[in-house]
Structure 1
Amino acid sequence: MMQIYHNPRCGKSRNCLAFLENKNIEFEIIKYLETPPTVEQLTILLKKLNLEPQEIVRQKEKLWVETYKNKNLNNQELIEILVANPILIERPIVINQNRAIIGREFDKLEAFVQE
């Protein structure tokens, strides 16, 4: 079953959820702001995304800009920051077993769910 890291307040996340529902795809919703991933879970998720921690940071988020933007952080530090501040994690993220995608673009999402 697919999973979606979802923030109900985010329009892109709501659109992604609606897309999956319209495709009649069974999925589990993970409200990651209420139940943030652990360091281990986020590390596994990054491998599924095939991305570095920096690539899933919401760069324009006020907390990022004011607190972390100009710091020289390694991957482990970034993962710990994202776990402690899940609002900084890009969304929505759709997971299908050993693969994942940031589901902001419907054409990429369409290809992902058909694989």
Structure 2
Amino acid sequence: MFQRIWSLIVKELLASARDPQTRWVVLFSPPFLLVIYAFAITQEISSVTLGVYTQDRGVEARELISRFEGSPTFEEILYLRRDADIAAAIDSRSVDLVLRIGPDFSRQLERGEPANVQLILDGRA
């Protein structure tokens, strides 16, 4: 079975080497696309709408939220009032990301313990 597949691969490579148009596509197209995509595609994230749902009214929670407010990455910050608003905001695509801060966030940080936050992302493009 492997011999048949290998024979087909060799046959197609030889046929591609004989045809000038195919040779152009196989040899020059990938480097050309690589150069174009290197300048056209960026991995910088901007214009993100952030939803914030916090159950903690402590200083540390407010400080964390203020760091997101000062970031140029986040275009708009929407404050959610209930836990049920998270699913509705993501389903309606009004937010791209939700930051959920639990009720013991500030208290845990004050005690020197690690505090958890939850980030809920909208995975649709």
Q: Which has the larger radius of gyration?
A: 2
Larger % of strand: which? Answer: 2
* TM-score normalised by L of structure 1: 0.30
* TM-score normalised by L of structure 2: 0.28
The answer to which structure, 1 or 2, has the higher relative contact order (CA under 8 A, 6+ apart) is: 1
